[in-house]
Amino acid sequence: MRRATIASKNPLAIVARLIVLGHWIKIQRCCICPRQRAVSERTLVGMTYSRETEPVYVPAADRYKDMEYRIVGQSGLRLPAISLGFWHNFGDDKPLATQRAIVHRAFDRGITHFDLANNYGPPAGSAEKNFGRIFSEDLKAYRDEIVISSKAGWNMGAGPYSFGGSRKYLMDSLDASLSRLGLDHVDIFYHHRPDPDTPLEETVYALRDIVASGKARYVGISSYGAELTSEAATMMAEEGCPLLIHQPSYSILNRWVEEPGEDGDSLLESAADSGLGVIAFSPLAQGLLTDRYLDGIPENSRAAAGKSLGTDMLSPSNLEMVAKLNEIAKRRGQTLAQMAIAWVLREQGDYGVETVTSALIGASSVEQLDQNIDALNNLSFTTEELNEIDTIANDGGINIWAGATKSKTHGSDSEPQ
C-alpha cells in the first residue's frame, strides 16, 4: 500500500504506467473484431458529440425473423418488402433524436434498405447529412447488412447544372451525396426523373460509368414511362450494366403503372419484361390512404399546410372513396394504411407474387413505423376484396409526378413536395 502511494506521487512512475496502458489498449484494439471495435470506438469518442450519456445501439438479434425479403428483378439482390424512405421527416426541421429512433426501430424490424435523394430535406441535402450522421454513429459496423440508395434528377439549387440527366449533373451530384452521407459508395443510384432535354444515351452512359467507378453497386430509374423504361433497360443491357430497378409512384388511388403505354404494355409489364424490380413510392397516396382524412382535414396535416395534397385531391369523391376503402380494411382487421401497403405488395396474377419488390414508406414516429410494418401480417386478398376495391377506387389524380417528363423549358424542374 505504501509503495503504491509513493508511486502515485512519482511523475516518472505515472508516465511509465500510462505508456504501458497505451500499449495494452493498442494490443486489445487489434485483437477484437471490427464490429466490436466500432462499438468500443463509439463509446470512447461519444463525448465528442455529447452522446456519452446515451447507450450504445445494439440491433435486435431477431431482426430478420419476421421481415420478408424479395429478389429484385433478375438480379441476386434482395430487398425487404418494406423499405424506409427519407423524403419527408428527416430534414433539419425534425429532431435528430426522433430520426435516430425511427432508423433504429426500422433496422430492428428487418428493414435493411434506406432510400434517400440529393434533394430530400428540408433543406435539400439535409436528409443525407442526418442519415449519414446516424449511420456513422450507430450503423457503420453493419454496413454489409444495409442497402443505401440515393438519387439525382430534380432541382437541387440555382444554376444550369443543378437538375436533369446530364453526365455532369449526375456524377457531380453523386459525389456530393457521398460526401453528405460519409460513404465511398451507395448500393443503388437512381436517375430520379426522365429528362427530355438530355439524350437518353448520355444519361445511360453516365449511369454505366458510375457503376464502373465503384461509386454505386447498381443503378435504377424513377418515374420513367413504360416505353422509355424499355428503351433505357435495353441500352443498359447492351452496355453490360443492366438496370436493377424502377421506382414509380403507385397506390390504390394512383394506378398509372398499370395503364397501357403507346406500345400496349404497362410500366409493370415493361419492368417485368426488362428484368427490373419495382419499388413503389407513395403507396399511401401522400397520406390520403390513412385515417388522417376520415374526419376532414386536420390542422396539422401536410395538406392543411399546402404541401402535396391540394384541395382538388381532397375532393368529396376522393374522401368518399377513402371512407369506403376504410370499411374494407376494418373487415380485414387492418388499418387503411396497412391495407394500402398490403395491396401494393399483393400477388398480381400473371405477373407473379413479386410484381412489386418493395413498398417504400415514410414515418414521422416509431409508432407510425410499427403500424405500417404490421401490414406484412396480412398480405393476402380474396378475389372478392380485390374486386370490391377496384369497384370503389378510381384514379384520384394523386400522380403529382406526372410532370416529371416535361422539359425544363416547358415544365417545373422542382419535385412536388
Q: Please give the chain's pLDDT, 417 residues, in tens.
A: 444 444 445 655 554 565 545 554 454 444 444 444 444 444 333 333 444 556 799 999 999 999 999 999 999 999 999 999 999 899 999 999 999 999 999 999 999 999 999 999 999 999 999 999 999 999 999 999 999 999 999 988 888 999 999 999 999 999 999 999 999 999 999 999 999 999 999 999 999 999 999 999 999 999 999 999 999 999 999 999 999 999 999 999 999 999 998 889 999 999 999 999 999 999 999 899 999 989 877 776 656 565 556 667 788 888 999 999 999 999 999 999 999 999 999 987 654 445 899 999 999 999 999 999 999 999 999 999 999 999 999 765 666 556 565 555 434 455 554
**Residue 403 in contact with residue 415, Cβ under 8 Å?**
no
pLDDT of the residue at 135: 99
Q: Rounded CA gap, 21 and 99, in Å?
A: 38
pTM: 0.83
pLDDT of the residue at 297: 76
Strands (E), 86-127: 113-115
Strands (E), 195-276: 216-222, 245-247
pLDDT of the residue at 2: 42
Strands (E), 173-223: 186-191, 216-222
Phi and psi (nearest 5°) for 102? -65, -45
pLDDT of the residue at 4: 45
**Residue 152 in contact with residue 117, Cβ under 8 Å?**
yes
> How, if at all, do strands 186-191 and 78-80 pair?
unpaired
pLDDT of the residue at 310: 64
H/E run at residue 190 = strand 186-191
Phi and psi (nearest 5°) for 278? -130, 125
Q: Count of H helices and E strands in the chain? A: 13, 10
pLDDT of the residue at 370: 99
pLDDT of the residue at 235: 98
**Residue 39 in contact with residue 56, Cβ under 8 Å?**
yes
pLDDT of the residue at 134: 99
